[in-house]
């Protein structure tokens, strides 16, 4: 693919992209169920963007009820070549205060009960998650964030918790001991599913609070988060405009574009036709 089509999954506080030219909301059906919302399509500086509000407009979908499989599937069906996730997070590190933009490069998955793969019995595949984000897209996002005026930190581990409740102090301190830097409720299994769909994925984490580990710090609540979201979201929208201007004219291939070449394990004659039909967008390139 030589043309960039950037999928953007907007987290808390980011429900639209003001800079889009010729914006249009389109509904895309998925065999994996209902996505969070319709897709907002348009261009910025000649680059096509496809925006999905992760929690739906009006923030109506709880983290544990997100249909991440449908969300990634519809972005793939819409022709996205890369996916940029923008998420609100709590900080588990003193050096990452509220307002900081953090470019995540690793994850610890503590979610439970969420379907985390497109591949099931009847079509088994195993993708590598050793390096779970795309370094190219992450670098471009970091540069765009700085150009937009953000205070940026590159390289951090995101602890994905189930939610929707915030952490206990004991949990918050445990995660700090594990080496996690930020905490959120939505990046998993989203990042895993993007990898299975051969979509290079990057995550910009916008810090809203210090979680609850910090001695003497007021515990995190929705009011605290919402107060920080306004300025973070404005910077995130500027980031997308800067990203569009900075993308190379031609998109060079990424190794992630073809990672399913070495992931499928089920023998062709043992594959479930019904599951193959559901995988038409995600894995059609290697299943045809």
* Percent over 70 (pLDDT), the chain: 94
The confidence band for 47, taking pLDDT boundaries of 50, 70 and 90, is very high
- Identify the band that residue 233 occupies on the pLDDT scale cut at 50, 70 and 90: confident
Confidence of residue 12 (pLDDT cuts 50, 70, 90): low
In this structure, the number of other CB atoms found within 10 A of the CB of residue 102 comes to 28
Distance CA 174, CA 161 (A): 12
- Provide the 3-class DSSP secondary structure of residue 199: coil
Task: Please report, for the domain that includes residue 252, its CATH number.
Answer: 3.40.50.1580
* CB 44 within 8 Å of CB 23: no
Q: What is the mean pLDDT of the chain?
A: 93
CA distances (Å), origin 225, targets 168, 208, 231, 234, 277: 17, 5, 11, 15, 41
Q: Residues 261-266: what's their mean pLDDT?
A: 97
pLDDT score, position 13? 64
Task: Judge whether residue 97 has pLDDT over 80.
Answer: yes
Quote the number of domains for the chain: 1
- Supply the range of the domain harboring residue 151: 5-287
Question: pTM (2 decimals)?
Answer: 0.95
Contact between 118 and 207 (Cβ < 8 Å): no
Do 236 and 20 touch, CB atoms closer than 8 A? no
Q: What are the residue numbers of the active site?
A: 209, 211
Distance CA 83, CA 73 (A): 12
């Amino acid at each position: 693919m030589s043309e960039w089509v950037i999928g953007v999954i907007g987290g808390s506080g980011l429900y639209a992209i003001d800079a889009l030219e010729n914006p249009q909301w389109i509904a895309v059906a998925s065999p994996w169920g209902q996505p969070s919302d319709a897709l907002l399509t348009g261009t910025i500086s000649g680059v096509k963007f496809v925006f999905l509000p992760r929690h739906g407009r009006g923030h109506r979908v709880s983290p544990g009820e997100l249909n991440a499989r449908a969300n990634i599937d519809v972005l793939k069906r819409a022709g996205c070549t890369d996916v940029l996730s923008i998420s609100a997070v709590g900080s588990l590190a003193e050096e990452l205060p509220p307002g900081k933009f953090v470019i995540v490069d690793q994850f610890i998955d503590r979610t439970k009960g969420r379907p985390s793969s497109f591949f099931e019995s009847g079509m088994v595949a195993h993708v590598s998650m050793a390096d779970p984000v795309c370094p190219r897209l992450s670098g471009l996002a970091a540069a765009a964030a700085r150009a937009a005026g953000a205070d940026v930190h590159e390289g951090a581990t995101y602890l994905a918790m189930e939610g929707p409740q915030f952490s206990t102090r004991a949990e918050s301190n445990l995660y700090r001991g594990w080496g996690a830097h930020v905490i959120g409720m939505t990046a998993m299994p989203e990042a895993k599913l993007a990898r299975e769909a051969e979509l290079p994925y990057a995550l910009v984490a916008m810090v809203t609070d210090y979680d609850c580990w910090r001695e003497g710090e007021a515990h995190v609540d929705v009011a605290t988060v919402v107060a920080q979201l306004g300025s973070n979201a404005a910077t995130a929208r500027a980031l997308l405009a800067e990203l569009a201007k900075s993308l190379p004219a031609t998109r060079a291939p990424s190794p992630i574009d073809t990672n399913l070449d070495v992931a499928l394990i089920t023998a062709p004659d043992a594959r479930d036709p019904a599951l193959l039909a559901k995988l038409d967008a995600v894995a059609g390139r290697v299943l045809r």
